[in-house]
Structure 1
Amino acid sequence: MSSRQLSDTKNALVSNPEALSDPDYSDDENVLPGEEIAADDDLLDGEDSDTDEIICTHSRVHSIPALKLERFKKVLRICLRQNAIQRIEGLSSLGETLQELDFYDNLISHIHGLDELTKLTSLDLSFNKIRHIKHINHLTELTDLYFVSNKIGHIENLDGLNKLRMLELGSNRIRVIENLDSLKALEELWLAKNKITELTGLGGLPKLRLLSIQSNRIRDLSPLSEVPQLEELYISHNALENVLGLEKNTNLRILEISNNKITSIKGLKPLVHLEEVWASYNQISDFMEMQEELADKKELTTVYFEGNPVQLRGPALYRNKVRLALPQVQQIDATFVRT
């Protein structure tokens, strides 16, 4: 890259400074066509036609048909991360073999071109410009589906994905958990960094064991009674003031509630299988309550309470007090302790 091009690139990065601070900023309507730098004539020229994996990342790929993928008759996995692909096309000939398809960090706005890929088990469309989930119902073999950091406002059109085990929708514009009842095999649901206010819509997921919903607007945990089988809950950076409502979630092993407004951990006593409690940067002030709620948890190995009044009021004695209250614990914050 010439010095002039480098200078132009630097200027472009700051030409819209509001985009750096506003997560909803969009200037799609005013994008000017830039100079298109052509990729090599045949990026995959040296690739064995019998290969089962194609990896072509950060290679300025604009056109999938230009890769001439139809010559690879045994390919199982294709990774086209960090390119400039706008359209999903040129993949129909791979329908008999392709199982994993990765378009992480491209310029895709619409989901098309997957009609023949019925053997896909993993599809990654993270870091694109997708607004609507469409045209994937026929991918009935999918087990893992990624839509991190798009512009999706609604959970929709997932009916038919009966084998889906993991759904990642973090960093979108979702306000309501909805339209998930058909996903009876779903085990992991990732919804961090959205605009969700309520934990409703989970009752139809009998196998859900992990829920990640950090950085939302949750105040009430009681709807989680509809998913008593839940084992891992990650709900930091919300608006919780207590942990009441988890009494029926007796299978919980990992509870991450850091960076809320929690003043009391009363309500954790029924959670007999807890192994890790992450509760940093709340308003917890009572060592006695900590002991009452957690001392009987024989499987508890890790606790985080830094940044709470229990630590800030007496940092020199804090760790010893936690050890006295919870002698079974092996790790307090980032420090391992003797057992």
Structure 2
Amino acid sequence: MTAVEEENGPSGHHIELVDDNPPPRRSGEPSPGLRDSKGWDGKLRVPKSALLTNPEALSDSDYSDEDNVIPGEELAADEDLLDGEPLDVDEIVCTHSKIKDIPALRLERFTELARLCLRQNLIQDIEGLSALANSLKELDLYDNLISHIRGLDDLTNLTSLDLSFNKIRHIKHINHLKNLTDLYLVANKISNIEGLDGLTKLRQLELGSNRIRELKNLDSLISLEELWVAKNKITELRGLSGLPNLRLLSIQSNRIRDLSPLRELPQLEELYISHNALETLTGLEHNSRLRVLEVSNNRITSLAGLGPLVALEEFWASYNQISDFVEVEKELGDKKNLTTVYFEGNPLQLRSPALYRNKVRLALPQVQQIDATFVRMS
């Protein structure tokens, strides 16, 4: 049942605080502010009921034991698996079918195939796809047993490639895919960003849950709009100056301390940087286009530095060390587009939880949501 609190706000307006009381987020989960469920570390793209080929990848981003992969039950060669599909089909989705051998599917029959999804199988090698070169645009091999990127030489019409949740160590043999707009390499064993030269049409790159320590070799990605690198070992926000169209950066669960390198990204609109080592928000002065800022689970004590962020719509700052309501009003009170703030788990909420939301509402009368509470004016 929804709980409702009532309070008289500024100018005599009647305020209702409606608490939908959702369960608290677990540590490491993406913020509700994330726009794309394909982000963070890719887990949200797997149905909860799915049985993963690589289950250890969900709990250990450094998993590396080649002998500890659950092999599952291998079926005989499946020449008849797709016999029910019309030959002019443009999409084939075949998941959880324990497929190991792509050539055995005889895909060359399907001359108009544009999208092929073979998620959660036992595929070790990318092969047998050259006959689809003229038509294939989307290839999804999420959650298989692939160690090396090979077999893509002829697939130059690909626009989307998903090799997430495999066992890939090196990004190779894809920079000839000049039409790629979306590339997903989440939850592999990648240590270095490399092999992306010339992918000038790429708009979205997902590298979450790998072993990356440095942002580099990205300068040629001039069309990149979204970069997802959460859950790595990145210590600095450098190497991004060559991305003139980057509007979304998700770099949660890394080791970032300094925001000042973001001055090289004045066009940035969404920044997700929770679970890092931030102690201050200074350094965002040149990012005046930011609409969404997620800094939860850091060590931030002050909101100083938010002044220039005139376009701010959502500010997520749960579980920091923010304690001053006066500063909340000073730094955020003039943000006319601000609709959502999260301060749960901060001293200003923990000191007086019964009064906390009303104090925030009086300091920020323009907001429509405080944590999980929606505010109504009447």
| Alignment match of 1:123 (pick from 161, 175, 187) | 161
| Alignment match of 2:114 (pick from 76, 94, 105) | 76
Shift of 1:39: 5.4
Match of 1:10 in 2: none
| Alignment match of 1:98 (pick from 107, 132, 136) | 136
Equivalent residues of 1:96, 1:119 under 8 A apart: yes
Q: 1:230-264: per-residue Cα shift (whole Å, max 9, x none)?
A: 00000000000010000000000000000001001
| Alignment match of 1:151 (pick from 173, 189, 211) | 189
| Alignment match of 1:215 (pick from 253, 256, 260) | 253
Equivalent residues of 2:156, 2:178 under 8 A apart: yes
| Alignment match of 2:92 (pick from 54, 60, 69) | 54
CA pair 20-305 structure 1, distance change in 2 beyond 3 A: closer
CA pair 30-143 structure 1, distance change in 2 beyond 3 A: closer
Query: Counterparts of 1:52 and 1:118 in 2: how far apart (Å)?
Result: 17
Match of 1:232 in 2: 270
| Alignment match of 1:89 (pick from 127, 133, 156) | 127
Query: Which amino acid letter does the alignment assign opposite residue 308 of structure 2?
Result: P
Match of 1:275 in 2: 313
Query: Counterparts of 1:294 and 1:225 in 2: how far apart (Å)?
Result: 21
Shift of 1:38: 2.4
Shift of 1:33: 7.6
| Alignment match of 2:62 (pick from 2, 6, 24) | 24
Q: 1:146-194: per-residue Cα shift (whole Å, max 9, x none)?
A: 0000000000010110100000000000000000000000000000000
Shift of 1:35: 6.1
Match of 2:369 in 1: 331
User: Given the two structures, how large is their TM-score scaled by the length of structure 2?
Assistant: 0.83
Superposition CA RMSD, Å = 1.9
Secondary structure of the structure 1 residue equivalent to 2:315: strand
Higher relative contact order (CA 8 A, sep 6+): 2
Equivalent residues of 1:19, 1:26 under 8 A apart: no
The question of 1:108 aligning with 2:121 is answered no
Equivalent residues of 2:79, 2:106 under 8 A apart: no
CA pair 228-112 structure 1, distance change in 2 beyond 3 A: same
User: Given the two structures, how large is their TM-score scaled by the length of structure 1?
Assistant: 0.92
Match of 2:33 in 1: none
Query: Which amino acid letter does the alignment assign opposite residue 62 of structure 2?
Result: D
Shift of 1:34: 7.6
Match of 1:3 in 2: none
CA pair 172-324 structure 1, distance change in 2 beyond 3 A: same
Match of 1:318 in 2: 356
Query: Counterparts of 1:125 and 1:19 in 2: how far apart (Å)?
Result: 13
Match of 2:233 in 1: 195
Secondary structure of the structure 1 residue equivalent to 2:354: helix
Residue identity over aligned pairs, in percent, reads 77
Secondary structure of the structure 2 residue equivalent to 1:148: coil
Query: Counterparts of 1:246 and 1:153 in 2: how far apart (Å)?
Result: 28
Structure 1 gap ranges (5+): 1-12
Query: Counterparts of 1:270 and 1:105 in 2: how far apart (Å)?
Result: 43
CA pair 186-41 structure 1, distance change in 2 beyond 3 A: same
Q: 1:60-85: per-residue Cα shift (whole Å, max 9, x none)?
A: 00000000000000011000000000
Equivalent residues of 2:186, 2:209 under 8 A apart: yes
The question of 1:300 aligning with 2:348 is answered no
Match of 1:291 in 2: 329
Match of 1:265 in 2: 303
Q: 1:301-323: per-residue Cα shift (whole Å, max 9, x none)?
A: 00000000010000000000001
Query: Which amino acid letter does the alignment assign opposite residue 84 of structure 2?
Result: G
Structure 2 gap ranges (5+): 1-50
| Alignment match of 1:251 (pick from 289, 295, 316) | 289
Secondary structure of the structure 2 residue equivalent to 1:228: coil
Query: Counterparts of 2:60 and 2:90 in 1: how far apart (Å)?
Result: 42
CA pair 36-228 structure 1, distance change in 2 beyond 3 A: same
Equivalent residues of 2:74, 2:98 under 8 A apart: no
Query: Which amino acid letter does the alignment assign opposite residue 269 of structure 2?
Result: E
Aligned length: 324
CA pair 300-35 structure 1, distance change in 2 beyond 3 A: closer
Match of 1:133 in 2: 171
Query: Which amino acid letter does the alignment assign opposite residue 128 of structure 1?
Result: N
Equivalent residues of 2:142, 2:165 under 8 A apart: yes
Secondary structure of the structure 2 residue equivalent to 1:337: strand
Query: Counterparts of 1:230 and 1:89 in 2: how far apart (Å)?
Result: 39
Equivalent residues of 2:306, 2:331 under 8 A apart: yes
Equivalent residues of 2:71, 2:122 under 8 A apart: no
